[in-house]
Structure 1
Amino acid sequence: MRAMAYSETGDSSVLHVVDRELPEPGADEVRVRVVVSGVNPTDWKARAGARAGAPTPYPEVVPNQDGAGVVDAVGSGVTGLAPGDRVWVFLAAHGRPTGTAQEFAVVPAQRVVRLPDAASFDIGASLGVPAMTAHRALTVADGGPARLGPGALEGRTVLVAGGAGAVGHAAIQLARWSGARVVTTVSSPAKAALATAAGAHHVVDYTTGDTATAIRAVAPDGVDHVVEVSPARNAALNASVIANHGTVSVYATDGGAEMTLDVRRHFSLNVRYQFLLLYTVGDAALAAAAEDITRALGDGALGVGEEAGLPLTRFPLERTAAAHDAVEAGTVGKVLVDVSPEITG
């Protein structure tokens, strides 16, 4: 089978095509014929490493955490999954040498989730890191729900920073599906159109006018929950618009790794800052996210493509390096790698 792999860290040129024997699933593992692989910033960052040429965690690494395809074989002890099942895969390469940039991937069964028939492989490959991060960000609020679903966020106002990004897109969709009023910030009219297509009720272009005033105009009592991609850059804005007992969920450090907070302001409003990293949230949180996301898929709440606010940019497997470069360059939307042809009938 074909796979993309690297044996040393560095720029995308370290990726090369390799031929491998078909891997066999072990106990509690599933072999998936990958149809589409999703690329995230974490994938190119892991490949780049702390410095070019640094040792890799394994002699050879196949990148990409997310994907979608069809179960090809199951190992002993696996229940609820069988050959022929359409599935989406998350964190395929976490703690393991191989991800989804290959024709067949062996993945722990707990990271393989049934994909509803109505959901495309493109949607399945676009979930994983972005959607599960968004789910976690929306379920850590002070007094908020631990699970998402219709009505779970009813009466709450959610502010999504960077609504045109992959996590922001998923957060808008999941919050809207759960009944929240969704406000988002973007940096251009084109991104505003995408955020609106994703389902945001109110979109604010932070490059024009007073952003805090614009948000307060639609949320005069403040926002209950912020899904934050850039805590350092947005600290003052969040302090200006957060409601009493509001929560700021931080999932990235865009704009700097250090921030300054007005302690007295946050004291007076009982504000919670919750930091989150998908790789260390624990199996229970991941399982809850997988269940809720699959339910949202069944309800048709998680679309992809330009019409759903998440443009798709595609590359064939042998051009996985170009796919990594596209994500690193900040391509708007989701970057996908077509690995194997979809089998129908």
Structure 2
Amino acid sequence: MRAMTYAKYGDENVLELTELPVPRVGPSQILVRVTRSSVNPVDWKVMSGGLDEMMETRFPAIPGWDVAGIVEKVGPDTPEFAAGDRVAAYARKMVVSGGTCAEYVTIPVDFAARIPDGVSDDEAGALPLTGLTARRAINALDLTDQDTVLLHAASGGVGYLASQLAVRTGATVLGTCSPASFEKLHRIGVTPLEYGDGLVDRVREAAPDGVDAVADFAGEALETTLAVLNEGGRHVSIADPAVLEHGGRWLWVRPDGGGLSELLSLVEAGDLTLDIDRTLPLEELPEAYRASREGRAHGKIVIHVQD
């Protein structure tokens, strides 16, 4: 099979298009013929060695954790799926090696969700990591229609999906972004606030009684969070473990086929919209990582692996 691999840590220049054996499929696993993957900043951070102290890497490593595709084969005692099923997954494993930027990937069955007929491969491939992160953050805040919530980086890959999920709870949603994204947030029912100097004052003007919950999708936001959060309020971050010292929760996304199935149903119903910046073929993965790393992607980059 064709696969993008790297034999040592580095930037996108260490990536090579190579030929590898199709992976074996064991009990409670499915072999997926990959049609789409997508780029998340964690992909090139892992490739650079940024998580080396936390996760083992076996070289040559195939990057990528998002996948959409078709079940090619199921392992023993795997009645949940059959060959030919369209599936998507957040396919992060305990060891960095057999990722999704390849023509085939093996994943645990409980990571996978069926793709509804009304959801495209591009949408399904773009959704898993960002969607499940957003879902986990909003669920952790336990929002109600009586709450006001502030989302840092509300127009980003995770933040845009979290904004939509927060609006669905009935909460009043404030979101930080650049002025260029104001209209994008207005359209989904979020009050946009420009990040940067003076943000605390802008939040207090928009929410004179303070905010009941905060989600940080950017980092370097804790001081603002603590300045505007009501006593007893809830706050989470996916970017700053320092929230743990102030009663907050530091979140890591988990593979979750059931949760992903719920998100895919929302996409099919038109209740959750993905922001896709561009699509690129597998052999252009280095350019995709470069664009993500340099901040030139205003939405998800979807990788077309095969049709």
TM-score normalised to structure 2 length:
0.89
Aligned residues: 304
Confirm or deny that 1:201 pairs with 2:171: no
Within the candidate set 131, 150, 153, 1:162 is matched to 153
Say whether residues 1:244 and 2:231 are aligned partners. Answer: yes
**RMSD, aligned α-carbons:** 2.6
Q: CA deviation at 1:113?
A: 0.9
Asked whether the 8 Å contact 1:157–1:219 carries over to 2, the reply is yes
Residue 203 of structure 1 aligns with an amino acid whose one-letter code is P
How far, CA to CA, are the matches of 2:50 and 2:257 in structure 1? 31
Is 1:302 the equivalent of 2:272?
yes
Q: Secondary structure at the match of 1:140?
A: helix
Give the gaps of 5 or more residues in structure 2.
none
Which residue identity lines up with residue 120 of structure 1 in the other structure? S
Partner amino acid for 1:123? E
How many Å separate the matches in 1 of 2:99 and 2:209? 45
Q: Provide the C-alpha distance between the structure 2 equivalents of 1:35 and 1:313, rounded to a whole number of angstroms.
A: 15
Distance 2:83 2:159 in 1: 34
Does 2:207 correspond to 1:216? no
**Residues 1:289 and 1:224: Cα distance change in structure 2 (over 3 Å):** farther
1:65 Cα shift?
A: 0.5
Secondary structure of the 1:60 match is strand
Cross-structure match for 2:121: 121
| TM-score using structure 1 length | 0.80
Determine the structure 1 residue equivalent to 2:217.
Answer: 229
What SS does structure 2 have at the residue aligned with 1:70? strand
Match of 1:334 in 2: 300
| Partner residue in 2 for 1:172 | 163
More strand by share: 2
Deviation, 1:166, is 0.5
Cross-structure match for 2:66: 66
**SS of the residue 2:203 aligns to:** helix
Q: Of residues 174, 180, 197 in structure 2, which corresponds to 1:190?
A: 180
Superposition deviation, residue 290 in structure 1: 2.8
Which 10-residue stretch deviates more, 173-182 or 41-50? 173-182
* 1:259 Cα deviation from its structure 2 partner: 8.1
Counterpart CA distance in 2 for 1:20 and 1:260 is 42
Alignment of 1:102-117 (within 5 A): 102-117=102-117
Residues 316-331 of structure 1 aligned to structure 2 (within 5 Å) = 316-330=281-295, 331=297
> What's the % identity of the aligned pairs?
30
Distance 2:230 2:162 in 1: 19
1:240 Cα offset (Å): 2.7
SS at match of 1:57: strand
TM superposition shift of 1:177? 2.5
Does structure 2 retain, via aligned residues, the 8 Å contact 1:92–1:98? no
Query: Given residue 116 of structure 1, which amino acid in structure 2 is its aligned partner?
Result: P
Whole-angstrom CA distance in 2 between matches of 1:178 and 1:274: 20
Return the alpha-carbon distance in structure 2 between the equivalents of residues 334 and 196 of structure 1.
Answer: 20
Distance in 2, matches of 1:339 and 1:287, equals: 22
In structure 1, what is the equivalent of residue 251 of structure 2?
A: 276
1:93 deviates by 4.4
Once the two structures are TM-superposed, the CA of residue 324 in structure 1 deviates from its matched residue by 1.2
Aligned-pair CA distance for 1:11: 1.5
Q: Equivalent residue of 1:97, what SS? A: strand
Question: Is the 2:37–2:305 contact (alpha carbons within 8 Å) kept by the matching residues of 1?
Answer: yes
Using a 3 Å threshold, how does the CA distance of structure 1 residues 96 and 28 change in structure 2: closer, same or farther? farther
Runs of 4+ residues over 4 Å off in structure 1: 257-261
* 1:258 CA displacement: 6.0
Conserved 8 A contact 1:177-1:296: no
How far off is 1:101 after superposition? 0.3
Instruction: Determine the structure 1 residue equivalent to 2:27.
Output: 27
Q: Do the aligned residues in 2 keep the contact of 1:92 with 1:100 (CA within 8 Å)?
A: no
- SS of aligned partner of 2:58: coil
Question: Aligned letter for 1:159?
Answer: L
Shift of 1:13: 1.4
Contact 1:65 1:94 in 2 (8 A): no
Whether contact under 8 Å (1:314, 1:336) holds in the other structure is: yes
